[in-house]
């Protein structure tokens, strides 16, 4: 089975930066669209960013556009989320997800595989 493992979360001051990593097991990583989602207590899971399996095209939620960068390294089976200019409202558990031959959808229902999540906390 395909497995995903996030890392890199932690506590950071507002305006600071963090980089999240997600290492994916299996031989089909290159054929999966990859996404990052986040969920704060009492809120719905929301889309953050996604990257295409086919051409590396990237997509971002309006709330993070210009601050976050998603990238992937197919040789390392890893997807990254570089987060700059962090705000307290970015505080959430962050999840990576994989969608086989996916369209880099912003809907969490389109993704078949999920990691356990990593906590990002931004202090004011």
pLDDT digits (tens, 9 = 90+) for 72-117: 999 999 999 999 999 999 999 999 999 999 999 999 999 999 999 9
Q: Which two tokens stand for residue 59?
A: 């997509």
pLDDT value of residue 27? 66
**Residue 83 and residue 68: Cα distance in Å, rounded?**
4
pLDDT value of residue 26? 82
pLDDT at 2 over 90: no
CB atoms within 10 A of CB 48: 25
9 contacts 81 by C-beta, under 8 angstroms: no
CB atoms within 10 A of CB 49: 26
Q: Which two tokens stand for residue 39?
A: 């969920």
pLDDT digits (tens, 9 = 90+) for 25-83: 986 899 999 999 999 999 999 999 999 999 999 999 999 999 999 999 999 999 999 99
Q: Which two tokens stand for residue 66?
A: 């210009």
């Amino acid at each position: 089975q395909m497995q995903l493992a996030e890392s890199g979360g932690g506590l950071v001051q507002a305006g600071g930066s963090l980089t999240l990593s997600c290492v994916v097991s299996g031989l089909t990583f290159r054929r999966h669209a990859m996404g990052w989602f986040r969920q704060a207590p009492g809120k719905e899971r929301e889309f953050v960013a996604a990257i295409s399996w086919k051409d590396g095209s990237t997509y971002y939620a309006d709330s993070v556009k210009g601050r976050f960068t998603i990238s992937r390294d197919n040789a390392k089976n890893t997807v990254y989320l570089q987060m700059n200019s962090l705000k307290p409202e970015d505080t959430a558990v962050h999840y990576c997800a994989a969608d086989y031959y996916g369209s880099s959808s912003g809907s969490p229902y389109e993704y078949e595989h999920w990691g356990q999540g990593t906590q990002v906390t931004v202090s004011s």
